[in-house]
Amino acid sequence: MSRFDSLLSAYAARVQAPWPTSVSGAERVWLAVYEPDQERRIRVRLGEFETVTIQAGHSWNLVDLTDAFGRWLGRHEYRDAYFARPTALAPALAEFRDTLTAQVAEVLAKADSNAVVALLGVGALFGLARVSELVERVAPAIPGRLLVFFPGRRVGANYRLLDAKDGWDYLAIPIEAASGG
């Protein structure tokens, strides 16, 4: 079984299992952890996650954050100044993180307790926004489940996006391919 198929199988088992309703927002977060070199395969076969979700009786909502920074910067009134002097951008990144949070929160607000809201493209946030901070910010608003496609590694409860040295510890439920997959 390929790594992708093993991850999909692990996700299918999770999405088909009963969902406890009396859990906190942080406990409604699922992290689909996979090797960064699997990103393209995940994207090409993403529809299979949607199909498994719908077959399990849940709705599917996708939020692709891949180009969130480019769209935000393209609309920013000081974008030309930031291109001329990129170091001036650092203070404005808090505004970007707020915009990112609002984008995800908007989709969560439209979802119900039976919905999976999937975040794709979190690797594109590396160096711009912390996935852990985004998840923590939106966790109280998760009505169903938040599935984060996470290219990186997990060691215990420590998650490392793109295998970066600075990992983070979070209480999310990991979904991973079997070690043989």
- Which of 59, 50, 47, 56 lies closest to 143, judged by CA? 59
pTM here is 0.92
pLDDT digits (tens, 9 = 90+) for 94-133: 999 999 999 999 999 999 999 999 999 999 999 899 998 9
**Domain segments of the chain as ranges:** 3-18+28-176
- Cα torsion 56, 17, 121, 110: sign: positive
